[in-house]
Structure 1
Amino acid sequence: MAVGKVTFTKVEREKLAEVLWLLNWISVVTGVILFGLGLFLKIEIQKWQEVMSEHGILYVPHMLITTGLAAGCINFLGGKICLDCADTNKFLRWKLVMMPYVICTFFFTSCVLAGALMCYSIRGQLEESLFLGLRNAMRYYKDTDTPGRCYLKRTLDLLQIQFHCCGNTGYRDWFQVQWISNRYLDMSSRAVQDRLRSNVEGKFLMDSVPFSCCSTFSPRPCIQQQVSNSSAHFNYDLQSQQRNLWRRGCRQALLDHYTGIMQSIGLTVLLIWLFEVKGQQQSVSSLRVWLTDRRKIQVMVLTGVRYLQTAMENVLQLGDPDSESDGWILENSLAETARSNFNIIKNLGKCYQADEDPNINVPTAAVDQEVPSQQNPRTS
């Protein structure tokens, strides 16, 4: 017994094709939006990619870009298919394409949902990427004359100024790295030599921070040298609220920045997915009232395409383009469909076994006719 069987008249088939054509074009627009969101996210990530580890999160925007581009092309083709399928003559040219189109649309609709979920689940990986990237960038802050690292100082300074942050988790992170190049140290100074010898790794460490850590809201000139020494500065309280350094770490600042973008994009992508799957229900529901007076059935776009496909195939079998035809989601019940597919797969597996080849020892009509003629001389 067919699942979801509905009888369509010629006018109802044409109306269904027109509604599906319109919804496919709306899906083309949503595909363009997906592409634009992925491109925007990629540009935002690349702005500060230098302070991220190598295993970045570019696969998320790449997936959105690919999915949006593919969905736009498929729905563009789908609009043409649905509009042509209202005509029995044009339906023949698309008959073999209908099922692959339904499968591809379902696949990319699932990809849209996966992209939305990725936007919400990427926070942990993003935080790790920023932690490792910022730690390495701070280590190479002083290497302004090293190829490949000469722009890290500029990038970190811009980052700290723009996002009002300092260090990886806080300004004290600068106390643990040598951020001043040896070129600018007086190696003949005894104080410099003592500080280098006091560190196991021979680094010049001190309680100071780069100028970009200075807060522009501070009421006094920035104190970036001997930050932890209250006696080195006049009227300076280390625990005072008027400390003139940015308190927030750059990892948290960038994490909040990207999390906000990801959540906004994720919400938009999720709404697009809901539209692709169920947002068309109200539009198609009004059409379903025409199709049956017994109940009001809500149909998704993929279901509508399936109804259009089966209804037009039945019209071709009837041979009358103006006659009514039945459409369904599945020709048989779910159990029968699953059993039939399982038997097909099972028989395909047997074909590779020589002793169980279904084509062996199967008499044909020709063989049946030849065998008696060969045996007659022997029996005579």
Structure 2
Amino acid sequence: MAVMKVKFNQKKRVKLAQGLWLMNWFSLFAGIVVFSMGLFLKIELRKRSEVMDNSESHFVPNSLILVGLLASVFNGLAGKICYDSLDPAKFAKWKPILKVYLVLCVLFNLFILFVVLICFLLRGSLDSTLEHGLKNGMKFYRDTDTPGRCFMKKTIDMLQIEFKCCGNNGFRDWFEIQWISNRYLDFGSKEVKDRIKSNVDGRYLVDGVPFSCCNPSSPRPCIQYQVSNNSAHYSYDFQTEELNLWNRGCREALLKYYSNMMSSMGIIVLFVWLFEMSVMIGLRLLHTSLESIANPEDPECESEGWVLEKSLKDTFKSTLENLKNIGKMNQVDAGTEGAEGDGAKTQAVSTVS
């Protein structure tokens, strides 16, 4: 039994073709929107590529760009097919490739659904990328005189100011690395020598943070050095001075920013997928309704259209059988070639003898 079997007359076929033509142009516009979203996300990720550990994060924007391009191509072509379907002479040239085109549409819609899923499920990978990238970026914060790293200080400072965050997981991360360049340390000072000697790796560690960690909403001047020393500052309690520094880590801030962006894009792409599925089903109904016209010389006669000629179960079985037959044909061809090769070898031996 056919799936979604619908009866059509000439008027219904024309309305379906016109409706699909209009839907394809809307889908073409949606493809441009998806392409623009992918481009925007790629630019946003490029802005902060220095604090990302690898290029896996660009898989989502690259996929969105590809979906946008393919959607524009597929829907532009489908719009042309729907427009030509009103003229039997023009539609005849599309008949040989229409089945192949519909198969490609199915694969394309599966790809769109896959992109929707990764937009929602890539949070874990992005979290790991940001954690390692920010950790490495903070290590290079002091290398203002090193070629290739001299920009890292500005990058981290602008990041912390823009996203109102501090460190990787929090401001205490700065206590564990030397973020002050040796160029600005007085190695003749006893304090500097003692701090370096007290550290196994010979680093100058302080309980301080860069200026970009300071919260401008704090009612007092920012305390960025000796942050955990209550006696070093008047009327100061390290545990209760929450407004002094940003408490949120930059990994959490960036993860929330990019996750919200990708989730919003995933919802939009999901709507595009639903629209594309509607267009594909409509195109299949139009194709089968035109193919099933009993008398081509009488275009006004009724016809039937369907999405699947057999039931879903029968269609699945026939598809598996076709795949098995293709596999058997390949095995037969390989066996034939082997037999021909053995025959040629036997003939060669006979000739030598």
Q: TM-score, normalised by structure 2?
A: 0.87
Tell me if structure 2 keeps the 8 A contact 1:166–1:213.
yes
Q: Which residue of 2 aligns with 1:328?
A: 306
> Equivalent residue of 2:215, what SS?
coil
SS at match of 2:92: helix
Question: For residue 152 of structure 1, what is the aligned residue in structure 2?
Answer: 152
The answer for the alignment partner of 1:307 in structure 2 is 285
Superposed displacement of residue 327, structure 1: 2.6
Kept after mapping to 2: 8 A contact 1:350/1:356? no
Cα offset for 1:333? Answer: 4.3
Code of the residue aligned with 2:151 in structure 1: it is Y
Q: CA deviation at 1:107?
A: 2.3
Q: Give the CA deviation at 1:81.
A: 0.4
For residues 3 and 54 of structure 1, do their structure 2 counterparts lie closer, same or farther at Cα, with a shift above 3 Å needed? closer
Aligned residue for 2:188, secondary structure, equals: coil
Q: Residue 343 of structure 2 aligns with which residue? A: none
The corresponding residue for 1:296 is none
| AA at the equivalent of 1:241 | E
Q: Structure 1 pair 13/218, CA: closer, same or farther in 2 (3 Å)? A: same
Aligned residues of 1:219 and 1:242 also touching (Cα < 8 A):
no
Tell me, in whole angstroms, the C-alpha distance in 2 between the residues paired with 1:78 and 1:169: 50
Give the corresponding residue for 2:237: 237
Give, in angstroms, the shift of residue 316 of structure 1.
7.8
Q: Deviations for 1:314-369, whole angstroms, at most 9, x for unmatched residues?
A: 33874443433333333344455445444444444443427987xxxxxxxxxxxx
What is the DSSP-based 3-state SS (H/G/I as helix, E as strand, rest coil) of the residue aligned with 1:217?
coil
Instruction: Tell me the residue number matched to 1:249.
Output: 249
Q: Give 1:159-174 correspondences, 5 Å limit.
A: 159-174=159-174
Which amino acid is 1:147 matched to? Answer: P
Give the superposition deviation at 1:242: 5.5
Change (3 A) 1:307 1:51: same
Give the equivalent residue in structure 2 for 1:353.
332
Residue 64 in structure 1 maps to residue 64 in structure 2: yes
**Aligned in 2, Cα 1:232/1:355: closer, same or farther, shift over 3 Å?**
closer
Equivalent runs, 1:1-380 vs 2, <5 Å: 2-241=2-241, 243-277=243-277, 300-315=278-293, 318-334=296-312, 336-351=314-329, 352-353=331-332
TM-score of the two chains, using structure 1 as the length reference:
0.81
2-side partners of 1:337 and 1:56: how far apart? 38
* Consecutive unaligned residues in structure 2, runs of 5 or more: 337-353
Cα distance in 2 for partners of 1:81, 1:354 equals 38
SS in 2 for 1:304: helix
User: How far apart are the structure 2 equivalents of 1:353 and 1:51?
Assistant: 56
Contact 2:230 2:238 (8 Å CA) reproduced = yes
8 A contact 1:91–1:312 mirrored in 2: no
Sequence identity (%)? 51
SS at match of 1:93: coil
Q: Which has the larger radius of gyration?
A: 1
Task: State which drifts further: 13-22 or 235-244.
Answer: 235-244
Structure 1 gap segments, 5+ residues each: 278-299, 358-380
Counterpart Cα distance in 1 of 2:11 and 2:158: 64
Say whether the 8 Å CA contact 1:24–1:79 is kept in structure 2: yes
Q: Report the residue type matching 2:236 in the other structure.
A: Y
Q: Structure 1 residue 176: deviation in Å?
A: 0.4
